[in-house]
Amino acid sequence: MRFDVMPVATEKQIIEVEEAAFNVWHNYYKDIFSKEQIDYMLKKYQSREALKKQIADGYIYYMILADNHLAGYMCVLVQSNYLYLARLYIKAEYRRQGLAKKTISHLESIFKKPELGFSHIKKLRLKVERNNSFAINVYEHLGFKKIRSEDTDIGGGFVCRDYVMEREIS
Ligand SMILES: CC(C)(COP(=O)(O)OP(=O)(O)OC[C@H]1O[C@@H](n2cnc3c(N)ncnc32)[C@H](O)[C@@H]1OP(=O)(O)O)[C@@H](O)C(=O)NCCC(=O)NCCS
């Protein structure tokens, strides 16, 4: 399978990510969040308007491509001393084929390039819902460690109950 990671730049790509988010979140999160919470979070964080605002604010979205098809997406934000992996979603039919592992390795190789000036960044950080045991297992397998629990009031009467996880950039 040919693997590529490409930054999301055009309106068409933003709409593709919005569609992928809608499908993955409704299918995957139905056992973790209520439908109301999924709808609320999709509108707030993954609608095309929200994606455009995040990109303008410095979030970098990438499409994950398998044989030129959209297999998933991720989003990162450079912080002072760590790289925040804000989203990583692989479509159901592409899971457990090594795409998340390849994507994280690819991300590390991008951010280690000396010409980008991010060599001071030594850690990758992410947040994962504490009930999302599948993803937690994958992240632990990939070398992430839980560093703390964090509850965030996201408005609308909803709370995200996460673990913050980190690993060194290898
Ligand atoms: C979690 C997710 C990103 C992982 O992506 P993936 O492409 O399926 O993961 P990979 O195939 O790259 O697997 C990565 C490693 O974890 C291992 N792994 C996969 N599932 C595992 C499990 N349930 N328990 C332990 N290890 C597991 C794999 O074997 C692989 O390690 P290896 O290469 O040494 O064998 C993906 O399944 C996903 O998008 N899930 C739904 C949405 C989600 O929860 N996203 C995270 C939000 S924070």
Residue 128 near ligand 1, beta carbon < 6 Å: yes
**Pocket probe mutation, ligand 1, options 3, 23, 42, 138, max atoms within 8 Å of Cβ:** 138
* CA of 96 relative to ligand 1 center, distance in Å: 6
Domain that holds residue 23: 3-168
Tell me what pLDDT residue 92 has. 96
The predicted pLDDT at position 91 comes to 97
pLDDT of residue 87: 97
Helix (H, G, I), strand (E, B) or coil at 111: helix
pLDDT the model gives residue 170: 81
Predicted confidence at residue 107, as pLDDT, reads 94
**H-helix or E-strand containing 14?**
helix 11-28
134 CB within 6 A, ligand 1: yes
Q: How many domains does the chain have?
A: 1
Closest ligand 1 atom to 99 CA: 7
Q: What is the pLDDT of residue 112?
A: 87
Asked if residue 80 lies in contact with residue 74, where contact means CB atoms within 8 angstroms, the answer is: no
Q: Residue 86, SS3?
A: strand
Structure letter (DSSP) for residue 1: -
**How far apart, in whole angstroms, are the C-alpha atoms of residue 111 and residue 103?**
12
26 touches ligand 1 (CB under 6 Å): no
In whole angstroms, give the CA distance from residue 86 to residue 125: 8
CATH code for the domain in which residue 14 is found: 3.40.630.30
Point out the ligand 1 atom lying closest to the alpha carbon of residue 127.
48
Atom of ligand 1 nearest to the CA of 132: 44
Q: What is the mean pLDDT of each run of 10 residues along the chain (170 residues)?
A: 96 98 96 96 98 98 98 96 97 97 94 87 96 97 98 97 95
